[in-house]
Amino acid sequence: MGRLRAAASASVGLLGAIALAACEDRAAALSPPAPPRHEASAPCSGPRAGEPAAPPAADGRMPLPALVEQVRPSVVTVMTLRASPPSYEGATPGHPFGGGAPRVERAIGSGFVVAAEGLVLTSDHVVGDAFGIEVQVSDERAFKAAVVGRDPALDVALLKLLGAESLRVVPLGSSAPVRPGDDVIVIGNPFGLGPTVTRGVVSATSRPMGAASLDGFIQTDAAINPGNSGGPLFNARGEVIGIATAIHADGRGISFALPIDEVLEVLPDLRAAGRVDRGRMGISFQEVTPQLARVLKLPGRMGALLTEVEPEGPGARTGLRPGDVILSIEGRRLEHARELARALRRTRPGEEVELTYRRDGADRRATVKLDRAAGGEPARGALRPGDHAEQPLGVLASDALEGARIEAIAPQSAAAGNLEVGDVVLDLNGAPVRGGAELAARLRAAGRKDLLLRVRRNGATLYLAIPAR
């Protein structure tokens, strides 16, 4: 991403809370209606729900203090634990880590509630390599969180807060009508300081960020800092139009947000399957510059110039080769290469797409059957619906050097609220555990009995009791 960097904080400072308020169930927000506007539901009634102090204008805009009061209860702080790489300098057989053992690092990001039963959207880079996730709300309660789904390509993740209910749901808008000059605010927890509001305007739209699969970002001068990652970008009506994603390392007032419309397209997949399956053509490409257009005998800048075609990939099987210029996909003319990336991001494995491309001054047509893109498997820590019914105690576990490491926990399972992702189960009912498969087998054999587990967590050993259900 060049000089761009994610706005995730690597330290936990003053853990000021960001809010929670009781409200009716709004799970319908996960099935967005037709564009251009996505309504989560009507606002809660009564002053406890954060009703605006002044009525909105005819176009839905409201005074900034009233807007903040309305939406801030839906913004949360996401706190994570990560294992830092150890130093192997001076390692010996008796001291395999040399001078430094692996350390646990804490980091902070932000997020927002999209379903009243505790579903939270955040950035994937906030939680992607974490082994423990906790989400804090305004009344200073903290909920353990499980990863429901991840989409690393889009940098978005969906969390479930274990034991949470009746949370305030954020209003979801649309990023389609956003224009440069629109007023926006960002709410999050920069540097762990607590709930913080920054204000600005949309500086630009459709900004690429240096990766073919990621483009069309909203640029804003509203301050985004480490700890804001995953938090919402609001319009003047209090609707989320983007997710705070990155800042420019060398500049001030140059920040980027992922458009909410991109997120709403994948949200049902994240909730249902824990992943997003996309089609893959097996090609790399670049923009056509005016100089390239002259050499390639094109009338102007257009299309996507193929720089690589993966051997035996879908494109190669169709006959594509480096130097071809893809001019259209499914009948839609491509003005820029990023439009091809966006179109492919919306495809599915096994789909056939029609292309028009130019080679040696002549236009040709091809039909390409797409493979599955990399990254289509559920991420570690993500459980599909039904996994908790198939896995004993509602956990997935892998082999550890000693015992069984908890890799994922199903929401609303017996383990939720007791075990944490990253825990290593050493003993079960007084007998040592040797690996994930043995733990699963013994949990099945235990049935509905009370369980006593000895667990290693963050370098400490403790006992956990899980009553029979």
User: Among all residues, which ones are annotated catalytic?
Assistant: 125, 155, 229
E strand or H helix at 218, and its extent?
A: strand 217-220
Spell out a b/e string for 117-150, using b for 16 or more CB atoms within 10 Å of the CB, else e. Answer: bbbbbbbbbbbbebbbbbbbbbeeeebbbbbbbb
- 8 A C-beta contact, residue 69 and residue 185: no
- 8 A C-beta contact, residue 467 and residue 454: no
Rg (alpha carbons) of the chain, rounded to whole number: 24
For residues 227 and 109, give the distance between their C-alpha atoms in angstroms, rounded to a whole number: 4
414: left (phi over 0), alpha (psi -120 to 50) or beta: alpha
Contacts of 149 (CB under 8 A, 6+ apart): 157, 158, 269, 270, 271, 273, 274, 275, 276, 378, 379, 382
E strand or H helix at 261, and its extent?
A: helix 260-273
For residues 347 and 339, give the distance between their C-alpha atoms in angstroms, rounded to a whole number: 13
Residue 363 burial by Cβ neighbours in a 10 Å radius (0-12, 13-18, 19+): exposed
Contacts of 327 (CB under 8 A, 6+ apart): 302, 303, 333, 334, 356, 357, 358, 363
Q: Among 348, 340, 338, 337, which residue's Cα sits nearest to residue 373? A: 348
For residues 251 and 258, give the distance between their C-alpha atoms in angstroms, rounded to a whole number: 19
* Long-range contacts of the stretch 436-444 (C-beta < 8 A, 24+): 436/396, 436/397, 436/398, 436/399, 436/404, 436/405, 436/407, 437/399, 438/404, 439/392, 439/397, 439/403, 439/404, 440/391, 440/392, 440/397, 443/392, 443/393, 444/392
For residues 244 and 229, give the distance between their C-alpha atoms in angstroms, rounded to a whole number: 5
Contacts of 37 (CB under 8 A, 6+ apart): 173, 174, 239
Structure tokens at 33: 């209606």
